[in-house]
Amino acid sequence: MAIAVGHPKTGRFMMGRLRHEMRDREKELLEDLVEHTEIYTSPTKLIGRGEIAQKSTMLIDGFIARSITRGGKRHIIGIHVPGDFVDLHGFALKRLDHDIVTVGHTVVGHTPHAKLVEVMRTEPHLTRLLWFATLLDAAMHREWILKLEQLNADGRLAHLIVELWHRLDFVGLAEPTSCAMPLTQVELADACGTTAIHMNRTVRAMREAGLIDFSRGRVMISDMDRLKQMAQFDGAYLYGNGDLYLADAFEAELA
């Protein structure tokens, strides 16, 4: 896409919610924040729980998971898609309470925290948009907690799929009836708070019901409306549309 051509490291970030509020100069500043990129072809822990964070990660391509391992069991507590500034939290916290792990083939860019300090000192509008990104992560965490309480395994899986489809659609990476889904059934189980055996049965039941199918790292969505109903999905918490959409609110404040 054109925006990604001009800004290969941060173009997807600019396509997401509220990022249209960025001025051209701020887009160049953001692109320059990413000092270097790395490619990972297998699951790699970028930063572990308790490690000192000196940089933050822009996800350029692929997927990243947040995970916590307790009692020998891994819990996936968040999934990141291209365009996410994954661990800005580490800038303020310095030590994360979870691991940041790549999923499959992944391209990431790294931003030293010293550069973020300078942005905070001189660029209040860009700082606020970065702050918005971290608050959006928090909104998604709250929704995941709610769905773990509200829904059974098939509803949780439906919610995960619908949310990822919407987030990928925001950055131009979803097809009308499919999107990338690199997670294995074990990883889906870890994200949905169930066992791999139960997840296998859930996937089979949803496939037989004509809702979804998995093929070569993608999920095919046969009936989006039924899937949303099963997930009790209200996408307002993603701030992309609905009653929480802010439109030009940031620009109005600066006028």
Kindly list the structural domains of the chain, giving each domain's residue range(s) and its CATH number in brackets, ordered by start. Answer: 1-134 (2.60.120.10)
What pLDDT is attached to residue 243?
Answer: 76
pTM score? 0.93
What pLDDT is attached to residue 1?
Answer: 46
Q: 53-91: string of b/e by CB count within 10 Å (b at 16+)?
A: bebbbbbbebbbbbbeeeeeebebbbbbbbbbbbbbbbb
Phi, psi (deg, nearest 5) at residue 148: -65, -30
What pLDDT is attached to residue 244?
Answer: 76
Select from 79, 80, 83 the least CA-distant residue to 4.
Answer: 83
What pLDDT is attached to residue 5?
Answer: 55
Whole-number Å distance between alpha carbons of 127 and 132: 9
What pLDDT is attached to residue 79?
Answer: 97
- Paired tokens of 228: 């949303």
Q: What is the DSSP secondary structure assignment for residue 49, as one 8-state letter?
A: T
Whole-number Å distance between alpha carbons of 63 and 66: 10
Positions of the chain with pLDDT under 70: 1-5, 17-20, 246-255
What pLDDT is attached to residue 2?
Answer: 44
Number of C-beta neighbours around residue 1 at 10 A:
11
The widest CA-to-CA distance across the chain, in whole angstroms, is: 56
